[in-house]
Amino acid sequence: MSFAAGTEAYAKGVGRYGAALALAHADAAGVDAGDSALDVGCGPDVLLGELMARLGVDRVAGIDPSEPFVAAARASLPGVDLHVTPAEELRFADASFDLAMSQLLVNLAWFVRGTP
Q: What is the dihedral sign for C-alpha 46, 114, 87, 8?
A: negative
pLDDT in tens, 58-80: 999 999 998 988 999 999 999 99
Instruction: Specify if 27 maps to a domain.
Output: yes
Instruction: Specify if 3 maps to a domain.
Output: no
67: three-class secondary structure by DSSP: helix
Instruction: Specify if 92 maps to a domain.
Output: yes
Letter string b/e over residues 77-92, b meaning 16 or more CB atoms within 10 A of that residue's CB: beebebeeeebeeeee
| Residue 66 domain boundaries | 8-113
Instruction: Specify if 1 maps to a domain.
Output: no
Separation in Å, CA 2 to CA 28, 71, 93:
27, 13, 24
Instruction: Specify if 41 maps to a domain.
Output: yes
Higher pLDDT, 20 or 107: 20
Lowest mean pLDDT: which of 14-23, 44-53, 97-106?
Answer: 14-23
Q: What's the CATH number where 92 sits?
A: 3.40.50.150
Instruction: Specify if 17 maps to a domain.
Output: yes
For residue 37, the cross-strand partners are 60, 99
Instruction: Specify if 2 maps to a domain.
Output: no
Residues sharing a CB contact under 8 Å with residue 98, sequence separation 6 or more, in sequence order: 35, 36, 37
Domain count, the chain: 1
pLDDT in tens, 76-115: 999 999 999 988 898 899 999 999 999 876 654 444 444 4
